[in-house]
Amino acid sequence: MLMFPPATVRFRVLLVSLALYALWLGILAMVLPTERLELIFSESGYFEMASIALWMLAGMVMAVQARTISGLLAPASMVCFLCAMREADWHKKFTYDGITKLKYFTQSPAPIAEKSIAALVVLLSVALLLRVIWIAVRRLRETDGFRDEKVWLVMLGGLLFVVGKILDRSLSVLTKSLDVVFSPNVKCLVSAYEEGLEMVTPLLFLLVCFWPSSQQVRCHA
């Protein structure tokens, strides 16, 4: 049965901080001039660079702490490194186009050897991600982990990751498929939340590494 986490002060502070952060992103998008917004929230802006650094840092911390959660943190650290490389555009640095796009494999004139290697990289990455999810779900079933705030932090980070990726593709998909025209203000707002969420996601996963377990807190209480 799904259990909500204990309403500890630290967890409430985190949720309030995220809400204030979201409000701050919206204010930045509305008050800053377009030139400053592009500098901050572009694909090579401050938030993007911070996102790459935080994914790398989260991966390194998880690799160091890999002994604490057997079988989980080691592959999770590799996923973090993959996310850092994705944010740094490594998925299209060595190929004709981005290997996460289906049209790269079906329509691009890239050599078959290149496509084969790219497909192998994609399959291995997906397999690694599925392994992390499988190990995490198995541990949840064995330990009733939904009572632990750490689990809720991971789920919150996963949710923000998905929302960020949806925002990343939403405007272009709507424009191409439905011919929707968006105003510059809407584009700035979406860009601010996209890059802002993409930056805070690895920060949440990094925070999980240092967050005290709810179950351990109850044992010591």
CB-hemisphere CA count at 13 Å for 192? 22
Q: Which residues contact 119 (CB under 8 A, 6 or more apart)?
A: 99, 105
Q: Has residue 17 got a pLDDT over 90? A: yes
Least confident of 45-49, 141-145, 164-168, 170-174: 141-145
Neighbours of 153 (CB within 10 A): 19
Tens digit of pLDDT for each residue in 92-128?
Answer: 888 888 888 888 888 888 889 988 998 999 999 999 9
What mean pLDDT, rounded, does the chain reach?
84
The mean pLDDT of 164-185, rounded to a whole number, is 85
Inter-residue contact 180 to 31 (CB < 8 Å)? no
CB-hemisphere CA count at 13 Å for 117? 9
What type of residue is 211?
A: W
Residue 217 is predicted with a pLDDT of 43
Q: What is the DSSP annotation of 135-155?
A: HHHHHHHHHTGGGSHHHHHHH
Least confident of 2-6, 12-16, 17-21, 135-139: 2-6
Distance CA 84, CA 75 (A): 14
Q: Does 75 reside within a domain?
A: no
Q: Does 208 reside within a domain?
A: yes
Residue 13 is predicted with a pLDDT of 92
The mean pLDDT of 166-195, rounded to a whole number, is 86
Residue 218 is predicted with a pLDDT of 45
Residue 214 is predicted with a pLDDT of 59
Which one has a higher pLDDT value, 71 or 189?
A: 189
Tens digit of pLDDT for each residue in 124-152?
Answer: 999 998 988 888 888 777 766 677 788 88
Distance CA 86, CA 111 (A): 22
The mean pLDDT of 6-32, rounded to a whole number, is 89
Q: Has residue 68 got a pLDDT over 80? A: no
Q: Does 105 reside within a domain?
A: no
Tens digit of pLDDT for each residue in 196-217?
Answer: 999 999 999 999 888 887 554 4
Residue 16 is predicted with a pLDDT of 93
Distance CA 182, CA 58 (A): 35
Sign of the torsion formed by the C-alpha atoms of 124, 130, 134 and 137: positive
Residue 69 is predicted with a pLDDT of 60
Long-range contacts formed by 4-9: CB under 8 A, 24+ apart: 4/152, 5/147, 5/148, 5/149, 5/151, 5/152, 5/214, 6/147, 6/149, 6/214, 8/149, 8/214, 8/217
pLDDT tier at 221, thresholds 50, 70, 90: very low
The number of distinct structural domains making up the chain is 1
Distance CA 28, CA 190 (A): 12
Q: Does 61 reside within a domain?
A: no
Q: Does 25 reside within a domain?
A: yes
Domain assignment of residue 188, given as a range: 9-46+144-220
Q: Does 198 reside within a domain?
A: yes
Q: Does 59 reside within a domain?
A: no
Q: Does 201 reside within a domain?
A: yes
Which one has a higher pLDDT value, 96 or 194?
A: 194
Among 198, 210, 203, CA closest to 150: 210
